[in-house]
Structure 1
């Protein structure tokens, strides 16, 4: 069978066509969100990097979440803004594969990082005396490196495999690319890659949920047995992590759910809202949640803002 993906010059992103009527409004909204989140992310990373007291596992994992969020945002927001201003509604196949790789890498790394955070909090609360040896900064970096390494290899293989599919269409019902969107355009037999991809996704999500649920249940049980002050502090931290994790999983599953819908009976606008809302929520809420609910980070952020405002005032 002729590989038709080689003769399709560009792929059309239908979501950009749907946004054409209010593209300047969407551009302003996207710009404000992206710049605000980027500034907040950079502040959090700088604070953790420059504050020696924050050089411990929990803040290293938070820093990894924030950096990964910036990586995911960079794969989505800048291109969207350029397309809105320029009026482009297409993307090359190569560009589509690169964007799919970046966004899917971001999602997988977040899942693994949230899982490691749950395990870290379980060790900190349930084994406080042994925690310094069970979770060292060296082990923290190893966990982060393994997560990134595994996801990078897996997504590289998956995206390269997807690139070999024969495409019989050129329209994607979205404003960004995913491998699932390309598989839906395939005119060849993509059942094997589809089954493998679904299996790996389900395995990753289910195993992560099981670890997180187990760790937090055990941690909450221990919290009820310790002093009231220590219990409140531990529960506040756990609630912050659970809020971030549940928001991310809900947004991610929300995006994935749209592929289970009957495309013929659901409007393109509805698909667009699901796709943009899901990715937008998952890439922007982590810095807000950790920046506002983590007391040390919140105080440092407020301190930095006051310092910048003071420097900006005329003498």
Structure 2
């Protein structure tokens, strides 16, 4: 992903002039990162070493937790380093590497939530055929396709961005963002715009369609079934729905900040909004599913 423009580094303008408070911010961010790593690793270990949890739903959860580690690692060590610096810059290759990490995290998160909704659809709408429909081979194939296809698609997108000719080097965020880099382009962006639209339709609209389709049928079964059926269905779907809604909220914050001028907001609030989906989602998922595991 070599950058063909003459920009060798980017300046990140969203960092606060925190002075002596930088060590407090460093401590807070470090604590959050440690909590994310420990909680996700703990649940991965519990699922891997407990034979009773070697079911499709928990295997998908394991993939989700691995992705939380992947995405948070793309942000938090970088934030911890930048907070302690007086000049907030990042080299172009590292910037595009971070874009790949963050974008691939977001896409795999959505893809994994989609296959998890398909799993819940099979379990609730076709309970008698569930184990024959959701074999271990099928589950592992779905996980592998989710990661490999989305990684490849994001790599192509970032490669197109990396070869743009840029006429600026200032990014108004605390980390590198693909849309912010594209806004700096002074060369033809037709190719990346076309690919971006295809990317949006195939890799974002498709998982969303799967989630909507499966939950329409799940709710239909819940409303037409017995009280016991509804309780059993909702006990497995509530954490998943909460994760979907939280992720959608974080992505909405990201889109709003990237596309609109939010300078009227306090700096601290703008920073929190920009890292919401990379912070709250990796913290929330282990909490919700950990409580479910302990209750079950």
Q: TM-score, normalised by structure 1?
A: 0.86
Point out 4+ residue stretches in structure 1 off by more than 4 angstroms.
17-21, 265-268
Q: Which whole-Å CA distance do the structure 1 matches of 2:42 and 2:228 have between them?
A: 29
Q: Confirm or deny that 1:52 pairs with 2:48.
A: no
- Please list every run of 5 or more consecutive structure 2 residues that lacks an aligned counterpart in the other structure: none
Structure 2 distance, partners of 1:55, 1:75, is 29
Matched, 1:74 2:73: yes
> What's the CA shift for 1:195?
4.3
Which residue matches 2:39?
40
Matched, 1:298 2:290: no
> 1:289 Cα shift?
2.1
Match of 2:30 in 1: 31
Instruction: Compute the displacement of 1:256 (Å).
Output: 1.4
1:140 aligns with 2:145: no
1:283 matches 2:279: no
1:9 is displaced (CA, Å) by 3.0
- Give, in whole Å, the separation in 1 of the partners of 2:259 and 2:77: 29
* 1:172 CA drift (Å): 0.6
Displacement of 1:227 in angstroms is: 4.2
Give 1:1-315 correspondences, 5 Å limit.
5-6=5-6, 8-19=7-18, 22-262=21-261, 266=264, 269=267, 271-292=270-291, 294=292, 297-298=293-294
More displaced, 213-222 or 34-43? Answer: 213-222
Give the secondary structure class of the aligned counterpart of 2:11: strand
CA distance in 2, matches of 1:150, 1:43: 28
Taking structure 2 as the reference length, the TM-score comes to 0.91
Distance 1:20 1:100 in 2: 28
CA distance in 2, matches of 1:151, 1:233: 32
Query: Which residue does the alignment assign to 1:308?
Result: none
Change (3 A) 1:271 1:192: farther
**Structure 1 residues 51 and 258: CA distance shift in structure 2, 3 A:** same
Show CA shifts across 1:137-174 (max 9, x none): 11110000001110111111111111111111111111
Q: CA RMSD in A?
A: 2.2
Q: CA deviation at 1:114?
A: 0.6
Q: Which has the larger radius of gyration?
A: 1
CA contact (8 A) 2:35 2:283 kept: no
Q: Quick one: structure 1 residues 50 and 237, their matched pair in 2 at CA, closer, same or farther if it must change by over 3 Å?
A: same
Give the 3-state SS of the residue equivalent to 1:189 in structure 2.
Answer: coil
Q: What are structure 1's unaligned runs of at least 5 residues?
A: 301-315
In structure 2, C-alpha distance between the alignment counterparts of 1:85 and 1:58, rounded to whole Å? 41
Contact 2:99 2:176 in 1 (8 A): yes
